[in-house]
Amino acid sequence: MKSKLTAIFSCFTGSITIITRSACILFLLSTLSLSVFSQSRTELLFTDGWKFFKGKNDASFAKDFDDKNWKSVKVPHDWAIEGPFDKEIDKQMVAIVQNGESKPSEKTGRTGALPYIGEAWYRKTFQLPGSIKNKRVILQFDGAMSEPKVFLNGVKVGEWNYGYNYFFIDVTDQLKAGENNVLAVHLSNRPKSSRWYPGAGLYRNVRLIIKAEQSIAQWGVSITTPVVSSTFAKVNIKTKISAPGATLVTTILDQNGKQVALDSAKTMFGNEADQNIKIQNPRLWSPETPELYTAVSRLYLGTTLLDQVTTRFGIREISYQAGKGFSLNGKVRKFKGVCLHHDLGPLGTAINIAALRRQLMILKDMGCDAIRSSHNMPSLEQLELCDELGFMFLAETFDEWAKPKVENGYHLFFDTDAEKDIVNLVKATKNHPCIVMWSAGNEVPDQFGAEGVKRAKWLQEIFHREDPTRPVTVGMDQVKATMASGFGALLDIPGLNYRVHLYDEAFKAFPQGMLLGSETASTVSSRGIYKFPVVKAAAKTYPDFQTSSYDLEYCDWSNVPDDDFVLQDDKPWVIGEFVWTGFDYLGEPTPYDESWPSRSSYFGINDLAGLPKDRFYLYRSRWNTAKPTLHLLPHWNWAGREGQVTPVFVYTNYDSAELFLNGKSLGIQKKSKATPQNRYRLMWMDVKYEPGTLKVVAYDSTGKAVAEETKVTAGEPYRIVLDADRKSIAADGEDISFVTASVVDKDGNPCPTATERLNFEVKGAGKFKAVCNGDATSLEMFDKPTMKLFSGKLVVLVQSTDKQGNMVLKVSGKGLKGGEIELTSK
């Protein structure tokens, strides 16, 4: 063995070509370690075999207890998403001070009206895969909602208050090898603990990691790229090790798995190895080129492989400079970002990679390049996807510091937990190239007062200590207060939530020389719903509890997208925006916080089912510079509005377009700077409705017609049409195909106002998982195989089982020709 290891080094130092060297090393490393690799470290996902109980709490559940009558569940699991929706759940008599309210009023649906409150237990019995002599065993929770208390074989081994954070526990001493071990987790969700649907349960992964006693510390590898150029990069790797006398050998592989560097740490600094590794001609990570490298850290004692950790990273350079703004790899750019809450609509908060990926693919098509995990730690899976698909990430921590927004919010834990919560966020996620900024908080009431300034400084310093490479922001809504107190001035990056009218003043007052639109727009709309007359208005409500998709309605504290666009386009010192929000989420049904049944948001650019609202195309027309956008609104099914003014908007990246109604020109509109709306939208305000065909023809700068788009008045709903985002999915019991169901008339025209009830059935190697129509007022449950269409559409989620083969989704509806789609599970 020893001679082989020596051979590796001499191979590396020899003067042969890189390809030959890499091949040589790969070959030798694999022959060296095949027998020991599998023993060096094992990571098991604790997915199956969980028992779940929600109800009266009993301390004996932690111990020897017969749980056979408990419900069998798979983790990740959200215990509340099956509902039912109930107005009484978490009903709050409050004044939402942050929204400018001074008198308490009854708020229903604020946290989604789903049964997330209460105590519950999860239990899992497991055996270790082998002996744990001279090993350490770690149990990692990627998040548990909330206040998890963890018991192993009846002994409490750990707890963590914040439901959004990752934490791990060394459980070696409580484990029994060769026998059953019982893991029991108690969770408790207090009422009035959130401003949105927080979910409930073991909603993220639970991992068991078995490694050698002498090994690399959990989250112990820290990779940065302090020097980046097109010809070479310096990769710095710090590795925390508990193995005196051991040697750390690090290899770096490129995207294709080809080894591009190898280094052996010669010196230990206490328990840390510090390596600087040169990569020639690096392929830089960016949203457009999400190139990733992998560092394989192998720890040897003599020739024995003690441990092996694989870390994916990217080579990229970020810089934030006054007068220049934000640059990635030397190029100035502005964040085209969205804020996201963590729920996945009909799946609740239970992590699902297919659902996360679908969200990102939709955002990618919109031209979005950045995500803010409002207002808490993102899932590890979301960060991995952002690395792979190319999204920059603003990773946030808290919605509250020491001062409350809600009665049982994070303020209960702030003093004792804030530091360790930040430490775990940074330690667990720091190697993700996608993360380009941290956020220490969102609109914390601590923006007022001297204590708040101290807290801001304290938190920012914790971030700096843990990660000197990324700046820190806070989303501020009390801009005047933060200008006066010094709160805004001390942050690395001042983030403004809304307050477009204060950008200039804040830029002058703050010393950083730049501002981030950490939260923008909060425009509200319901997919496919249009209200008349078409006027720009704050806090507008209607008897049907919907909002208008003309994209002119917003909140008392917010604005329409165009107002942000003006700042982004005209102020070089604004470094980008994060729109509230990319997708609708459960809870916070503003402007219907007091109206039942409203249980999910209207803020999304896409609805809760992930279907694009009109606003999607407004952002796409700006952000997706690679593809043309030409989108016409409203729909053209307005029986009863004949002869009435029905304005027509076009969202496009073409400069001008001509509108035709039943072949008659209604004139050419050109973008102009008259108003923000005229600058970013083409609008025909005086169109009088008549049924038929509405057509827009776009012209290029020479006046040549280059694209067109039509809306046709549809007849009666006739046939169901199905369209899957992916027809082939993995046979892993997790993967999901998202099938959009819509109805068309006899001639195939989409019926945009259809509300027919549809029924779903899946046969073969898959199962019906959930359905969602994006209607914020619907009380139909997501897991029942029937739902009404909303504005002519809904989305059915078909999930694989662990069987390979074909499956068929059948969709039927009374009086409608049914639809069928075949999917494959491989």
**Cα 575 → chain centroid:** 21
In the complex, residue closest to ligand GAL by CB: 522
CB of 391 closer than 8 Å to CB of 368: yes
Distance from C-alpha of 32 to C-alpha of 26, rounded to nearest angstrom: 10
**In this structure, are strands 167-170 and 135-141 parallel, antiparallel, or unpaired?**
antiparallel
CB of 467 closer than 8 Å to CB of 430: yes
Of residues 316, 135, 287, 291, the one with CA closest to residue 208: 135
Distance from C-alpha of 86 to C-alpha of 109, rounded to nearest angstrom: 8
Q: Please report how close the Cβ of residue 442 comes to ligand GAL at its closest, in angstroms.
A: 5
With respect to ligand GAL, which residue has the nearer C-beta, 580 or 649? 580
For the chain, helix (H) and strand (E) counts, in that order, are 12, 49
CB of 228 closer than 8 Å to CB of 315: yes
Distance from C-alpha of 60 to C-alpha of 64, rounded to nearest angstrom: 7
User: Exposure of 261 by Cβ count < 10 A (0-12 exposed, 13-18 middle, 19+ buried)?
Assistant: buried
First to last CA, the chain: 40
Query: Which residues contact ligand GAL (rule: CB under 6 A)?
Result: 98, 374, 442-443, 477, 497, 519, 522, 555, 558, 580, 588, 590
Of residues 408, 400, 445, 348, the one with CA closest to residue 92: 408
CB of 241 closer than 8 Å to CB of 299: yes
Distance from C-alpha of 726 to C-alpha of 826, rounded to nearest angstrom: 12
Selected catalytic residue, list 400, 443, 466, 577: 443
With respect to ligand GAL, which residue has the nearer C-beta, 521 or 574? 521
Distance from C-alpha of 706 to C-alpha of 682, rounded to nearest angstrom: 16
Of residues 380, 353, 459, the one with CA closest to residue 415: 459
Tokens (6 digits) for 235: 């990769």
Of residues 187, 553, 114, the one with CA closest to residue 345: 114
- Residues 6 or more apart in contact with residue 476 via CB below 8 angstroms: 443, 447, 482, 487, 488, 494, 495, 496, 497, 518
3-class DSSP assignment, residue 344: coil
Distance from C-alpha of 524 to C-alpha of 526, rounded to nearest angstrom: 7
Amino acid at 728: S
Query: Is 519 part of the annotated catalytic residue set?
Result: yes
CA dihedral angle for residue 346, residue 349, residue 354, residue 355, rounded to 10 degrees: 50
Of residues 149, 147, 692, the one with CA closest to residue 409: 147
CB of 307 closer than 8 Å to CB of 41: yes
Distance from C-alpha of 672 to C-alpha of 534, rounded to nearest angstrom: 20
Of residues 473, 468, 474, 564, the one with CA closest to residue 522: 564
In this structure, what are the phi and psi dihedrals at residue 412, rounded to the nearest 5 degrees? -60, -25
Selected catalytic residue, list 147, 396, 400, 519: 519
Query: Is 443 part of the annotated catalytic residue set?
Result: yes
In this structure, what are the phi and psi dihedrals at residue 465, rounded to the nearest 5 degrees? -65, -45
Annotated catalytic sites, by residue?
443, 519
